[in-house]
């Protein structure tokens, strides 16, 4: 029997996505904290959103070097930090759980590097994942969950988890078409399939 599928939705920019994901049992929601990024969520907007939801863990998404991480952690009070592997050594990281993303084309080298890090790594996110034959199988890492980033339609999801030995999926939120007007097609397909 499969363990509960771990679900993380990054790039949350609006309350509609946050509430929908919380209602669908998503484990963690990510918020971009780089002011020049298109999906930036200010501390005030973040506090406004998280005040309306309960359940999912709160994740700071670090997308660029040279951010004042200590200040961001004190402003946002996250449960975890999501950071690309290439940026890990550019920061003095706090003792929060880390979600480290690595590209699929380089996953073996990336996982080897991650195992050498002395941080509290809770999740590895494989970005740009492509299902293939024969299938890629990710060896379990002690205490670390592996999530496949679904950036497009990847077919049936439960068989994908079984053959890759991944623990779950990383999805992305999307912008509202207008306040309160949302298209949940990609999120809904994945979340409803896993719920059923």
Q: What is the pLDDT, as a whole number, of residue 2? A: 46
Q: Please provide residue 148's backbone torsions phi and psi, each rounded to the nearest 5 degrees.
A: -95, 125
d(CA 62, CA 88): 10
Angle between helices 43-50 and 69-76 (to 10 degrees): 30
Residue 1: predicted pLDDT: 31
pLDDT at 134: 77
Q: Which residues contact 141 (CB under 8 A, 6 or more apart)?
A: 111, 114, 115, 124
CA dihedral 94→171→176→71, nearest 10 degrees, is: 0
Which H/E stretch holds residue 124?
A: strand 121-127
Tell me which architecture the domain covering 6-152 has in CATH: Alpha-Beta Barrel (3.20)
Which residues of the chain register pLDDT less than 50?
1-2, 181
Q: Which of 148, 144, 149, 146 is nearest to 119 (CA)?
A: 144
Per DSSP, what are the bridge partners of residue 178? 181
List pLDDT tens digits, range 165-193. 999 999 988 765 555 545 556 677 777 77
Q: Which of 54, 102, 50, 94 is nearest to 73 (CA)?
A: 94
| Cβ 157 vs Cβ 169: under 8 Å | yes
The model scores a pTM over 0.85: yes
> Which of 89, 140, 146 is CA-nearest to residue 119?
89
């Amino acid at each position: 029997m499969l363990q509960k599928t771990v679900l993380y939705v990054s790039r949350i920019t609006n309350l509609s996505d946050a509430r929908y994901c919380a209602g669908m049992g998503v484990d963690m929601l990510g918020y971009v904290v780089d002011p020049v990024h298109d999906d930036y969520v200010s501390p005030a907007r973040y506090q406004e959103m998280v005040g309306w939801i309960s359940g999912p863990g709160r994740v700071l998404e670090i997308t660029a070097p040279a951010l004042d991480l200590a200040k961001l952690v004190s402003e946002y009070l996250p449960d975890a930090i999501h950071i690309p592997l290439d940026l890990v050594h550019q920061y003095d990281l706090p003792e929060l759980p880390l979600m480290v993303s690595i590209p699929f084309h380089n996953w073996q080298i990336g996982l080897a590097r991650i195992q050498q890090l002395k941080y509290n790594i809770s999740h590895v996110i494989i970005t740009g994942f492509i299902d293939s034959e024969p299938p890629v199988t990710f060896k379990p890492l002690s205490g670390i969950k592996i999530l496949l980033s679904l950036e497009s339609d990847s077919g049936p999801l439960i068989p994908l988890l079984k053959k890759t030995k991944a623990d779950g999926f990383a999805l992305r939120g999307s912008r509202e078409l207008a306040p309160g007007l949302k298209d949940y097609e990609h999120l809904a397909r994945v979340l409803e399939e896993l719920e059923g």
